């Protein structure tokens, strides 16, 4: 259940960012980027394991199609490594600012599950713009 009414509640679920699959990396920088990607994925997996051992449910991005995470020129954008920058729970509502041209987040399956379960989810739109899009989410928690 989505619920955050103060900063002192026990941690029940956390979204952990991730790197793109190594096969998506640019060929020109693949050698250097591959090593960084692998080390980062390893560290994130260790972090996830530690949280799970404490009874915390963890969620990770599910990257399916490279094109969903590209800008209008076909360049791969920054991966959703820091979900706290564009996702926040206020009260009983999850607010999400999609980060990619195609409005994907990497956590789309998790968001869809929450919505299907009747949870309150607000998908904000930068093109309108919704005033919540300018709220610095990391500062609200």
Over its length of 141 residues, how does the chain's per-residue pLDDT go in tens digits?
A: 787 777 677 888 999 999 988 888 877 777 788 888 889 999 999 999 999 999 999 999 988 888 888 888 888 888 888 898 889 888 899 999 888 777 778 888 899 999 999 999 999 887 787 888 888 888 775
The tally of domains found in the chain comes to 1
Q: Report yes or no on 104 lying in a domain.
A: yes
Spatial distance between the Cα atoms of 98 and 105, rounded to a whole number of angstroms: 5
Q: Is the peptide bond before 108 cis (omega within 30 degrees of 0)?
A: no
In-domain check, residue 69: yes
Count, in order, helices (H) and strands (E) of the chain.
3, 5
Three-class secondary structure of residue 122 per DSSP: strand
- In a domain? residue 127: yes
Query: Is the distance from CB of 44 to CB of 37 less than 8 angstroms?
Result: no
What are the two backbone dihedrals, phi and then psi, of residue 91, each rounded to the nearest 5 degrees?
A: 65, -120
Q: What is the domain range of residue 77?
A: 13-135
């Amino acid at each position: 259940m989505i619920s955050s009414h103060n900063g002192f509640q026990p941690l029940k679920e956390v979204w952990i960012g991730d790197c793109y699959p190594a096969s998506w990396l640019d060929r020109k920088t693949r050698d250097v980027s591959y090593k960084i990607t692998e080390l980062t994925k390893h560290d994130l997996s260790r972090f996830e394991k530690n949280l799970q051992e404490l009874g915390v449910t963890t969620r990770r991005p599910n990257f399916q199609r490279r094109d969903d995470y590209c800008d209008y020129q076909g360049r791969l954008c920054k991966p959703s490594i820091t979900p706290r920058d564009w996702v926040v729970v206020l009260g009983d509502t999850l607010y999400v600012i999609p980060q990619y041209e195609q409005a994907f987040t990497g956590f789309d399956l998790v968001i869809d599950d929450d919505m299907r379960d009747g949870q309150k989810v607000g998908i904000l739109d930068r093109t309108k713009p919704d005033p919540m899009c300018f709220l610095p989410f990391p500062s609200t928690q």
